[in-house]
Amino acid sequence: MSGNGNAAVTAEENSPKMRVIRVGTRKSQLARIQTDSVVATLKALHPDLQFEIIAMSTTGDKILDTALSKIGEKSLFTKELEHALERNEVDLVVHSLKDLPTVLPPGFTIGAICKRENPHDAVVFHPKFVGKTLETLPEKSVVGTSSLRRAAQLQRKFPHLEFRSIRGNLNTRLRKLDEQQEFSAIILATAGLQRMGWHNRVGQILRPEECMYAVGQGALGVEVRAKDQAILDLVGVLHDPETLLRCIAERAFLRHLEGGCSVPVAVHTAMKDGQLYLTGGVWSLDGSDSIQDTMQATIHVPAQHEDGPEDDPQLVGITARNIPRGPQLAAQNLGISLANLLLSKGAKNILDVARQLNDAH
């Protein structure tokens, strides 16, 4: 009997060892759900690989008593994860794309942008206001949001409401809404609520004319080491071509404006009949001043191709070698062109004042 056991051990030792791919993520429930979905797709494509998920807390998870825009750190939800990538403790990291700055630290790239969920913002109401909309909430109702972008747009649209900062992960914010009497409603990303399975809490989805969304909102980005070709090849198949092109345009617009979470900048994109439409806007902190415009470019959504690596320059931090280069450049140019149009109309002054006021408060 012991002989059989030894034979089994020997056979195990001689079998080729499965490669383990280590995947970094934030610790929140939503981050884990998002990471699990990416890992499940990769597992289905590569049944010969093992995946280990490594969760960690980021600066943005730890500082919960300060509005995000006040912390003054561009990589609030990414820095610790990037350190793990740099030290080779993980091979890839799954992020909400809207958390990734438009300029990544040297040595990193976004190797995949997954198919976007609904990018719009949603309103979740306190139980006593279920069935209401922002328009029909009582005068002076307090609405919670951690975003200057949402607050600026919604103050302008709904002047009868008050907007106040609310921090914490989705579970924490919903608990604050339900258990405390401070907030009549809170604004959250629809995609996050849907991924958590909380469709029943969505009381209102905001239309673009009410509140345009954050750059990259609703999409997941997979960050990798820029020179790790094996991992780039592994994750590259996750690129969703339409989402990729829309997000390149959005990120190019934001980068050229030099925006970030400390200023109210928002976008809306759509692909229709070979045209990519990009609407972008900037607002003063109180929403009283704004500049918005729309531009379009002819871009056909390409299929992924197998022509091998193209010359690498990253576009707005993204590497997509299996997607033709022409449409990517056209999307980037659309974002830059719209940013230049807004800058020519005075956007820089609005953003400068917004930054100064945000820093002073």
Do 223 and 278 lie in one domain? The reply is: yes
pLDDT at site 263: 85
Any idea what DSSP says for residue 196? T
Do 81 and 186 lie in one domain? The reply is: no
Do 301 and 334 lie in one domain? The reply is: yes
258: containing domain: 20-118+215-360
- Residue 214's pLDDT band (cuts 50, 70, 90): very high
Phi, psi of 30 (to 5 degrees): -65, -45
pLDDT for 238-275, tens place per residue?
999 999 999 999 999 999 998 666 689 999 999 999 99
Do 222 and 87 lie in one domain? The reply is: yes
Q: What is the CATH number of the domain that holds 82?
A: 3.30.160.40
Is 12 domain-assigned? no
Domain boundary among 186, 205, 224: 205
Residue 227: which residues within 8 A CB-CB, separation 6 or more?
A: 107
How far apart, in whole angstroms, are the C-alpha atoms of residue 55 and residue 50?
Answer: 16
Is 13 domain-assigned? no
pLDDT for 41-84, tens place per residue?
999 999 999 999 999 875 544 444 444 444 344 455 577 888 88
pLDDT for 313-327, tens place per residue?
789 999 999 899 999
Catalytic residue numbers, as ranges:
99
Do 199 and 168 lie in one domain? The reply is: yes
Is 210 domain-assigned? no
Do 108 and 62 lie in one domain? The reply is: yes
Do 220 and 328 lie in one domain? The reply is: yes
What's the N-to-C CA distance of the chain in angstroms? 76
Q: What is the CATH number of the domain that holds 154?
A: 3.40.190.10
Domain boundary among 170, 205, 240: 205
Strand runs labelled E in the chain: 20-26, 50-56, 92-96, 108-113, 121-125, 142-144, 162-164, 185-189, 204-205, 220-225, 265-272, 275-283, 290-298
Does residue 307 surpass a pLDDT of 70?
Answer: no
> Which of 2-6, 161-165, 166-170 has the least mean pLDDT?
2-6
Do 230 and 348 lie in one domain? The reply is: yes
The structural domain count of the chain equals 2
Do 176 and 274 lie in one domain? The reply is: no
Is 24 domain-assigned? yes
Do 298 and 356 lie in one domain? The reply is: yes
Q: What is the dihedral of CA 90, 96, 97, 101, to 10 degrees?
A: -70
pLDDT for 3-39, tens place per residue?
444 444 333 333 344 689 999 998 889 999 999 999 9
Domain boundary among 178, 205, 232: 205
Q: What angle do CA 315, 321, 327 make, to 5 degrees?
A: 60
pLDDT at site 305: 61
